[in-house]
Structures are given as C-alpha cells and as structure tokens.
Amino acid sequence: MDAMDTGPRYTPDHELEMAVQFLPASDSKKLEKRKGLGKLTIVLSAVAFAFILSLIIGLLLWHYHLRGEANIKKIYAGSMRLTNQAFVNGYENPNSTEFKDLASQVVSQLNEIYYKEPKLRKNYISSTVQAFSEGSVIAYYLSEFHVPEKDQVEVDRIISSIDKLQGRTGSSSRLLIDAINYSALDSRMVSSTKQSTRYAQHLQPNVASVIESPGFPNYPYPSNTMVQWELRADPGYIIKLEFESFSLEENCKNDFVKVYDSLVAIESRVLNEICGVFSDHLTFHSSGNVMLVTLVTNDVMNFPGFRARATQVPLSTTTCGGILTGNSGTFTSPKYPDFYPQLTQCEWTIRVPQGKFVKVVFDKFRMVEPGQSNSVCQKDYVEIGTRKMCGTSSNLMEASQSNEMTVKFISDSSYVDRGFSATYTAYEPSDPCPLMFLCANKRCIKPVQKCDGWNDCGDSSDEKNCQCGATQVSCKNGFCKPMFWKCDGINDCGDNTDEENCGVCKPDEFTCANDHCVSMKMRCDGQNDCDDGSDEATCGKEAIDVPCTDKTYKCKNNKCVNSLNPECDGVKDCSDGSDEQNCDCGKQYTKSAGRIVGGQDAVDGEWPWQVSLQVRGSHVCGASIISDSWIVTAAHCVQDDTKTRYSQPQTWEAYFGLHTQKDKSKAEKRNLKQVIAHPSYNTYTFDYDMALMELDRPLTFGNKIRPICLPSPSYSFPAGKSVWITGWGATKEGGFAATVLQKAEVRLINETVCNNLMNGLLTSRMMCAGVLTGGVDACQGDSGGPLNSLNAPGGHTFLAGVVSWGDGCARRNKPGIYTTVSKFRGWIKERTGV
C-alpha cells in the first residue's frame, strides 16, 4: 500500500485545513440529534473517543509514512503569460494591491492546475508569485512540492508537460494563460541554511546600474549566501550585463553566478553559469526586458566576488548572416566576442570568384553547453553542409568543392557562449597551398611543420606517414613526436608509446614517489604499500601518517602525511591543521581567461606578487613578493660588475603593483635594507641562482600587491604541468624590454630530457619549462621573476621557480631554466623567517 494515498501527511498547510474540517463535520450531526445531560455526556465521550481514535490513526499513518520514505523538497520555477491582462505599473511592486490581487489569482489558478493531477495534488505545498513583467503580463512564480524519492521523476515529467494540464482548467478561470515555462530550481539554490537576499531594480535610460557581490571589493563575499538581482528595463529595451571584475572560486559546485533570461531561475532560460576568474569580455544580453542574476555560495572558501554594470539598450533584432564575396574576409557570431544572443539563426553565403573554392578557418570557436554532445550538436552549433560543429576547438576548418559555401549558426533558448570568429579565403583547386603543405582538410601549413610532432593541420594529416628522425620518438601508431616529450608524464603519441619504459617499474606496476615499484592493484587499496604512502596519496581519501622522507609533507608537529601537495588545498591533511595555515598567498584577484617572448599583455593586477627591480630608473630584473618585507630574486641579478654594485641594497629600487613601466607613479616603491645572495651561487654554472631582498619598510597588501606561496621541500611539480612566466624582459632574443607586464604559458619539462637538450648543464637545483616548438620563453630582463604554478584544488599560486638562464631565448628545443624554489625552502625560512 502506498502510505501517501491514505494517510494525513506531515504538516502541509492546506491539508491541515482539510483534516480540521473533516473530523467535526462527521460528528456534528450526532451532536445536534442528542439532547439532555446524560446524552451530552455520551456525546462528549463519543467526541473524545473519536478524537483520540483519529489522533492515533493519524499518528500511526504519519509514523508509517516517515518510516516509509522521506519527502524531498522540490521547488519549481515557472513563468506564464496572462494573455487577457494588461501591465500596470503597480505590478512591479510586490506590496501594491494590484500586485497582490493578480498574484492571488495566479496562485489560485496554479492550485487549480495542480489539484487536477493526483500526483501533484498529493505533494503540492504552495506557490508564490515572485514578479510580473510586460507582455501582455508575464507572471513568474515558485511552486513548492514535497515529493517522495520514488515519485520525483514522475512529478518532473508532469510538471514539464504542464501546459497540457492547464488546458483542462476550464472556462471558470479568469486568467487566460499560455507560454508556460517550468523547471525544477537548481538544487544548490534550494537550501534553507543559505542566507537569502533579493534585490529588484528597474534600470534607468542612459544610466548604468552597478551590481556587486556583498562586500565587493573590500571583503570576500559571505559564505552560504544566495543573492538575487531582478533587473528590469523599459518595454522595448533589453538588458546588457557587463562584468567588470569577476573572481569566484574555480569550482562551480561551490560558488557560482547564474544569469537568467527571466525573473525567476528557470533552467531552460539560463544564459550561463559562471565561476572562476575572468577579466576579459564577459557580457550577456537578455532577449526581453528582464534578467535575473543570482550569486550562490557555500561554506568553503570565499573570493572577492564581482562587479557588473547593467544598462538598458534598445531592442534591435540581431542581424547576422548575409552574402560574403571577394577573395577573403572575416565574419563572426553575433556580438562576438561578447556572448551571442539566445534563439539566433544566421546564415552566411560565401561566394568567391568563379573557378575558385572556399575555405573557412575558425580562429576562435566556443559553443559549450551542459547536456550538449559535441558529436550530435543539438543545442547551439555551426552547420556547414551536413557537418554540425559545437563545443570548443582551436583548429576548426572547412573547405568546399565549389565557389560557394553556406555557413549557418544556430543558438537555442538557454546557455549562450562566446561563439566564433572565422576567416574565409578563396583557393585555387589545382594549387590550394602554393609553396606550403596541404593538409587533408585543405588547410595550408609551413613545410617545416610537417612531421614535427604537432598537429598543425587540426586533422593530424601533417603527422601521418612520417619517417621519424633521430630527435624524435617513433610512436607505435605511426606518429613522430619530439624526443623532448618522452617520459614527461603526458601521452603525446596518443597510444602512450612515448610514456613507456620511462621508469624502473613494469607497465602493470605503480612507481612510488620513493621509486619503489608496487603492483597497480595496490594503488588506493587503503594500505601503505610504497612505504611512503604515495600509492594512497591521490585517492581522494583521508591523509595517513607515514614515516618522513624527502617526498612526504612534514606538518608543523613534525609528523608526515602521504598527501601530494597538501598545502593550502582546502583540505586539512595534517592532524594539527598546519598544512592549511599561512595560506593567505598566491591568490589572483584579477585574471584573464586566457614579454617574455611569445607572450601577451598581463591584466593589471593579475600577478600581484610580481616585482620590478630597478637601477637608476631602469628595469633590470624581476622578483616575487613572499611576505610584507621580503622578496625573492635570482643571485645572478645581484652580482657586481665594473660599473654597478648590484650586491648593495642602496643600488636598487623595488616597484610593487606595477603594470606598465610608463606609469611607475601608480606603483608602490621601496628601497632595500639587505640583499642576500645564496652563498653557494656559482657564476659559471648558475647553480644556486637565488637571492633574498629585505625591504626598508613593509608593504600593505591589497588586490594588486600580495605574496605568492612558497612550496615545501616535498612539493611536486610534475613534468608536463602547465605553468606561467611573467616579466618585463625582452620580447625577442636581443630585443627590447616590454613596457606592459607580459605573461606566457609554458610546460614543465622532464629533468632527464631537459638535461639532454641543455648538454648536461642542469644541476639538481634547476628545473626546465618551455614550449618545444620554440617561440615562447623568458628572456633578458625576466630574470629573478616567478615561474608561477597554480595549485588547482586550493586556487593558490606557488613559486615553482625563479627565472635563471637559457640558451638564447625561445629557440626550438631550448627550454628556459629556473631555480627550483622548493629546494631552497629551508634556506629562505632560515634567512627571512618566512
């Protein structure tokens, strides 16, 4: 028996009313028939008996029900158009009589709809109208249900087809409704423990409204909070929301912002869910005159938050598509690089001169949407001929077999993204790539790019049928990959050939951090088989205490844990919690999604620990802040020469929070109290290339001046990991220094491989990072600056290395060499106390 069908349930308001009415009604007849004192006693006892009996039955059923299954609170967000209503100003104000009046009509209509369906009636609690907007009138509401687990799917299904139900409400209803939209509220928003705030704002013409997360920019946003901003524009306008600053936790499961094309959080109207850190274009447009912005946070880790500007802009139908002619040209998705609007359909016809064919290369391509399969592309996509493309890619290209090509772009009603930017060119069918290599997909690449181990064509056709050279690994699948990448922990071949026979352990064995070999089966089995716990270190389980080695992390209480890089990862691994202490470091409060040679301009404030060390007003070296009074640089920066006494503190000026060298007045300046070069620094080999500098006056930290985290001696930076280099050094070998701080992404390179490439000049205090094809590297003037390594779980940046030396700059197969900071952790502590 289904307990839900018979018994009174636990305290839903409307049911309580039904129960209260039911009992006296059945007894009242008897009451009226029986008169006199004796009768009254009988009647009273009967009533009491009936009351007690029903109480017992109720309690039993309630008990039975509770034992049977727990109800889950589900809230559905919905909107519907009231076609026979006209919008009046009072509908914007929930306290007005007009609002209350219409809201109660909507609620009773909803009640009517839900009561028609037994599965809904039984689980329905109540509905509240959240807002109205124009057109005729659109009502936005939340309906609460308490649904037993087993009925969830069914209730979801009924709710999603609710517009069929409403047809059954009959003519008695005064509101004529259509265009019903429904979805279960994002479960992260259904929490009674979250502090919830709602703001409503009607935007003014020509005035931008600023919306900010609570505390921004002075404090991180609060924990366990939900804030909603209901934004409206005048009819005939849409809302443009531009995020000027955005810094949330990296993991959307914890904290996120969701933007809706609605006034309630209907999932089919989400424009996007965002988290992490952005500083480049992050702009959304509504399709109508309303928008909802929500911020939801949980109890772990709070970030600075965001500031956004909302403006109302005239609704102009987005024009896109058209006829493109000539030999070449570019086109983009609507509003690129802003997010494209929802429900877009564009069609471009590209027509090149007779006799030539068309090819289209997508330089940027991003249409990512939850629930969309990149092979089917049923939501937002680009369509050329029969091929549909979606997701994200940096190498997309299509070619035609005639002088015409049609490109379509489609977006649906939810989740928008950046879209694409594309170039089309006409090509000669007989000679598609004059003097270049022709890929199977008709892309043209430089002849040297053929068989260099990189998929330059995008379809790998440049890497097929290659004769591998002496400096290449022959992959079993026929590819050749540069020797450079052998045993770097990354499967470059695709079939893992480049990662075979790398260690002492057999293929079915796990290589422990102490180089012991244990069977793969022993990984994550809860036993410390390696002796150093490394076989249990990355299993997502609790840390275990292990004997201390140079590969294990040592807690403050001198106990060692087996966790890999436990410091500041947001999880307490040491029993004394010391791995999560002193973690106010390495946080980037400004970052772009996205000279140093081959780099790009950093965003102002993106690398707040970066220091510019200057002599007589000119930049000489980089350095990194490690505390309010100490910075780390390279020892080779502080060696005297015939002209300058670089080893003396008074020679230097240090600039903090500097972005462009042209604007030093905006930066903080300090003189130095001491310069400590490592005593073992070797001018010939660059071994021990590290120096410490003490400032004459402590720094005050803010968003643009902050320390980087120092890695413990056991911190592991695996080969293949992507890291960032930053500095104002030369932007090409022998070139000039950069004005604006540059950043570039490089990968850590396996020690043995690197030592071979650098002719054996590496010592155990050096590490290598670079890009094997060349073109990206640190260069003169970057020395002393940071090699930045982000520890993803905690979102903290660690100082992996200090820019030290290289063979020229950015040459092919010549990585940059960095001083390994973890090797100097003890020395730094000893000399600075940090």
Contacts with ligand ARG by CB under 6 A lie at 729, 777-783, 803, 805-806, 809, 816
Quick one: tokens of 282? 């992050």
- Please identify, using beta-carbon distances, which residue of 341 and 785 lies nearer to ligand ARG: 785
Q: Which is nearer to ligand ARG, 8 or 785 (CB)?
A: 785
* C-beta closer to ligand ARG: residue 213 or 783: 783
Q: Considering beta carbons, is residue 406 or 639 the nearer one to ligand ARG? A: 639
Alpha carbon distances (Å) from 697 to 46, 627, 668: 89, 12, 11
Ordered DSSP codes for 165-226? HHGGG-TT-SS-EEEEEEEEPPGGG--TTSEEEEEEEEPPTT-PEEEE-TTTTTSPPPSSEE
Closest to ligand ARG by CB, 692 vs 803, is 803
- Least Cβ distance, residue 607 to ligand ARG (angstroms): 17
Q: 200-211 burial string, b = 16+ CB within 10 Å, else e?
A: eeebeeeeebeb
Rg, Å, the chain Cα set: 33
Angle at the Cα of 569 (from 582 to 253), degrees rounded to 5? 130
Nearest to 407 by CA among 480, 363, 495, 345: 345
The amino acid present at 483, given as its one-letter code, is: M
The letter for the amino acid at 280 is D
Query: Residue 811 contacts by C-beta under 8 Å, 6 or more apart in sequence?
Result: 733, 774, 777
Distance of closest approach, residue 310 Cβ to ligand ARG, in angstroms: 45
The residue among 237 and 805 lying less far from ligand ARG, judged by its C-beta, is 805
Burial of 815 (0-12, 13-18, 19+ CB in 10 A): buried
Tell me the closest approach of the beta carbon of residue 816 to ligand ARG, in angstroms: 3
Distance CA 359, CA 361 (A): 7
Q: Is 54 a catalytic residue?
A: no
Min dist. Cβ of residue 454 to ligand ARG (A): 21
In the block, which residue shows the tokens 């509401």? 141
678 is catalytic: no
Q: Judged by CB, which is closer to ligand ARG: 566, or 729?
A: 729
Min dist. Cβ of residue 822 to ligand ARG (A): 19
443, 361 in Cβ contact below 8 A?
yes
Residues 279, 714, 783, 789: which is the catalytic one? 783
Report helix, strand or coil for 818.
strand
Q: Is the dihedral of CA 752, 757, 761, 764 positive or negative?
A: negative
- What element of type H or E holds 4? helix 3-6
Name the residue whose CB lies closest to ligand ARG. Answer: 806
- Smallest gap, in angstroms, from Cβ of residue 798 to ligand ARG? 19
Active site residue 281: no
Do residues 484 and 772 make contact, with C-beta atoms less than 8 angstroms apart?
yes
> Catalytic one among 65, 636, 659, 796?
636
Could you tell me which of 284, 219, 200, 281 has the C-alpha nearest to residue 245?
Answer: 281
Q: Give residue for tokens 């275990």.
A: 544
Of residues 634 and 709, the one with the C-beta less far from ligand ARG: 634
Active-site pick, 492, 689, 777, 782: 689
- Return the C-alpha torsion angle 732, 737, 739, 741, nearest 10: 70
Alpha carbon distances (Å) from 94 to 25, 80, 103, 130, 272: 38, 17, 9, 8, 27
Cβ proximity to ligand ARG: between 453 and 816 the closer is: 816
The 3-state DSSP class for residue 160 equals helix
Taking the complex as a whole, the smallest distance from the CB of residue 767 to ligand ARG amounts, in Å, to 12
Q: Which is nearer to ligand ARG, 341 or 781 (CB)?
A: 781
Shortest Cβ 443–ligand ARG spacing (Å) = 31
C-alpha to C-alpha distance for 217 and 596, rounded to whole angstroms: 31
In angstroms, rounded to a whole number, what is the distance separating the alpha carbons of residues 708 and 695? 16
Which of the residues are catalytic? 636, 689, 783
